[in-house]
Amino acid sequence: MAEECKFTLVGKFIKIRPQLDKIRSKFAEKITVKGTCRIGPFNYHTVFFDFLKKEDFTHVWYRRSVEIEGQVMWYEKWSPNFKPDEDSPIVLVWVLLPELPYHCHSWNYVKHIVEPTGLPLTVDFATDHRTRPSTAKVRLEVDLTKPKVNSIFVGIEEDNSPLKGFYQRLEYENVPKYCRFCKILGHSIAECRRVEQKKAEERNKADKNNKVVEVAESSAQKQNDIITEQDQKEEL
Ligand SMILES: [Zn+2]
């Protein structure tokens, strides 16, 4: 089923989106597509883009956003888990591979090296043309809910020798923050106000429960005191 939507993007506006005909005309003005592109409304903030050709889909997805009628529309890759009030944690990032051996500066090597950290999409112009020997650069699709990989072991198999290799450092450029609690982009869970609020509510609840226990304990103590008093009187 998801196959039907493999070239579908979601366009999201923070405020109420412009009218659909405006989105269609501005999109056509700014983006040239080779095949067809159906643009349909989902709600007041969201529209769907359905591309016929993969190259159109990737061309638009790689742009990440476009300005329409003074508002920024952010692209999100559609998935079967799409929920209008949540942001997808799948984003595009550029990753640098500083001091990567120069003979590895090719799409074939680079894509294998970075595979454990996400889906490699393309290398930048300088890597492709081998004009920046100090660093290779690759664009990846990463899942922000997964831990960030900061170094990768690159093994090199040589004839008649044990596996040799090196650790390759990865540096990420402009990784967006994603809150796993709110499921939105823009802040991390460490700075989430809703998580703080929830913790405060839980603390209050625990305090109240402790007070109830204390009151129950002190009234039980009073009962014990009365009984002891009565016992003492009876003994007299
Ligand atoms: Zn949050």
Query: For position 101, what pLDDT does the model report?
Result: 92
Distance from the alpha carbon of residue 177 to the mean position of ligand 1, in angstroms = 10
Q: What was the pLDDT predicted at 157?
A: 64
How far, in Å, is the centroid of ligand 1 from the Cα of 196? 9
Give the distance (Å) from ligand 1 centre to CA of residue 190.
8
Contacts of 178 (CB under 8 A, 6+ apart): 87, 89, 91, 144, 145, 184, 185, 188
pLDDT at 37: 93
CA of 41 to the centre of ligand 1 (A): 27
- The model's pTM: 0.77
Using CB atoms within 10 Å of the CB of residue 129, give its burial: 0 to 12 exposed, 13 to 18 middle, 19+ buried.
Answer: exposed
C-alpha 203 – ligand 1 centre gap (Å): 19
Sequence-distant (≥ 6) Cβ neighbours of residue 78 within 8 angstroms: 5, 8, 9, 10, 48
Split the chain (236 residues) into runs of 10 and give each run's mean pLDDT: 84 95 94 93 96 94 92 94 94 96 92 93 95 96 93 76 80 94 94 93 85 70 67 61
Separation of CA 200 and ligand 1 centre (Å): 15
